[in-house]
Amino acid sequence: MDKTTRRMDNPGSWLRRLFNHAVQAVQPRQCLPSHLPARPVGRTLVVGAGKAAAAMAQAVEAHWPGQLAGLVVTRYGHGAPCRQIEVLEAAHPVPDGLSEQAARRMLAAVASLGEDDLLLALISGGGSSLLCLPAPGITLADKQAVARALLRSGAPIAAINTVRSQLSAIKGGRLAAAAAPARVVSLVISDIPDNNPALVASGPTIASRSTRAEALAIVERYAIELPERVRLLLEQPTAAREPLPQAARQSVTVIATAADALAAAQHYAAQDGLRVQLLGDALEGEARALGRAHARQALQLQAASKRPQLLLSGGETSVTLRASGRGGRNTEYLLGLAQALAGAPGIFALAADTDGIDGSEDNAGALLYPDTLARARAAGVDAAACLANNNAYDLFAATGDLLMTGPTRTNVNDFRAILINP
């Protein structure tokens, strides 16, 4: 059986293989070793935060030519065994007490570094929640309330992290500032559209150029309710909390992005004889609306060509929570796509978060088949009601189409693929 026959006979399995291939391309063991800096005269201290932090620490240990020490923090269940670097786990997407403990321990550790020492910072998406130290005048409870409000708002991730950095005693470059006069090298796996490293994990080692006024404008634009202490902090003159200057002895390298994962998928699909169209690696907007837009494109391409095609895209969509159902942005995207496709034959799709977690659920995303909505109806599940209640998870659970990968220990954000057979 050739590749084309396998793809046509089992499109869902083929899409799973495509996703796995994309995720493997951005694993720390693949993308990190070539970016390691030279060994310093003095000590090497490793710190890190994010869903890829433990796997990044493993990659450092496997390739570092000498002694090192340090600690990284990752999401519960995303840890990995290390010999010299301590791996901590904390909560995501809302921080907890261990998030604050991790931040305090990290600040204390870097404060001991001298001019001959190296701070190697391993930063990936998710670090904003995992490394949480409230700015003076606010509490962890305040930060938790803000996190929940931001997640409900539908604001894009760049805007969310701009607010977070203004409410933190460790983000926005403050961790790097505490390490002076040591050299600071930051290796970043980006989950941010456009890959601005200052916004990945809210930039603990990269000086923020945002201001309190900008954060407050985001709060007003998205009607985000703030605890009183937080609002008072943001309303203080920016001069009271000017952005930190970039550390003089610092380098920052983005070592993996959504574009890298999509390029790997594009190559894989092209080898299988597919015509591949990349819709972009930094797409944002409401998840359901993007799904509907992609459905229109898929139907147009199917009508115009007799050759199998693949639409690929990445980025991070948003979900404005209108109800308390279960779901994430990838399943909501797929449900919007499904409604617009209306069971069109020959079109299949996968949408998943490359970290293995769609929102705060246990699935990476889901798969969509031409008969998905029909099978949901047969199971007594109404697609329109699920979408109205932000409850896409339950629909794909009822059809058996949730994509369960477990933690991938990398994170370059969303991966979407639409397979179009003539």
What are the backbone dihedrals phi and psi of residue 220, each rounded to the nearest 5 degrees, phi first? -70, -40
Q: What one-character-per-residue DSSP string does 187-211 give?
A: EEE--STT--TTTGGG-TTS-----
Is pLDDT of 303 > 50? yes
The stretch 185-210 carries a mean pLDDT of 93
Helix (H, G, I), strand (E, B) or coil at 70: strand
Name the strand (E) or helix (H) holding 110.
Answer: helix 97-110
**Low-confidence winner among 191-195, 345-349, 377-381 (lowest mean pLDDT):** 191-195
Q: Share the mean pLDDT of the chain.
A: 93
Is pLDDT of 258 > 60? yes
**Closest listed residue to residue 401, CA positions, set 368, 352, 358, 364:** 368
User: What is the pLDDT at residue 245?
Assistant: 47
Is pLDDT of 166 > 90? yes
Q: Tokens 């990995």 — which residue?
A: 80
DSSP strand pairing (69-75 vs 85-90): parallel
In this structure, the number of other CB atoms found within 10 A of the CB of residue 38 comes to 8
Reported as a pLDDT band with limits 50, 70 and 90, residue 241 is very low
User: pLDDT tens across 275-294, in order?
Assistant: 999 999 999 999 999 999 99
User: What is the pLDDT at residue 238?
Assistant: 58
d(CA 297, CA 300): 5
d(CA 33, CA 367): 33
User: pLDDT tens across 183-195, in order?
Assistant: 999 999 999 999 9
The stretch 56-84 carries a mean pLDDT of 97
User: What is the pLDDT at residue 243?
Assistant: 45
d(CA 20, CA 28): 15
Fold of 3-25+259-420: glycerate kinase, domain 1 (3.40.1480)
User: Which residue type does 194 have?
Assistant: D
- Asked if residues 354 and 316 have their Cβ atoms less than 8 Å apart, the reply is no
Domain-by-domain residue ranges, the chain? Answer: 3-25+259-420, 28-256
* Burial grade of 362 (CB within 10 A; 0-12, 13-18, 19 or more): middle
The residues, ordered by sequence, that sit 6+ positions from 54 with a Cβ below 8 Å of its Cβ are 72, 74, 78, 79, 80, 82, 87, 409
Reported as a pLDDT band with limits 50, 70 and 90, residue 113 is very high
CATH 3.30.360.10 corresponds to the domain 28-256 = no
What are the backbone dihedrals phi and psi of residue 318, each rounded to the nearest 5 degrees, phi first? -125, 155
**Low-confidence winner among 2-6, 86-90, 320-324, 345-349 (lowest mean pLDDT):** 2-6
Two domains, one topology: 3-25+259-420 and 28-256: no
pTM, full prediction: 0.93
Q: Where are the beta strands (DSSP E) in 362-413?
A: 365-368, 402-403
d(CA 53, CA 82): 11
User: pLDDT tens across 38-51, in order?
Assistant: 999 999 999 999 99
User: What is the pLDDT at residue 359?
Assistant: 83
User: What is the pLDDT at residue 109?
Assistant: 97
The residues, ordered by sequence, that sit 6+ positions from 292 with a Cβ below 8 Å of its Cβ are 336, 337, 339, 340
Task: Tokens for 328, please give them.
Answer: 């994430």
User: pLDDT tens across 137-156, in order?
Assistant: 999 999 999 999 998 898 99
Please give the torsion angle defined by the CA atoms of residues 119, 124, 125 and 129, in that order, rounded to the nearest 10 degrees. -30
Helix (H, G, I), strand (E, B) or coil at 40: coil
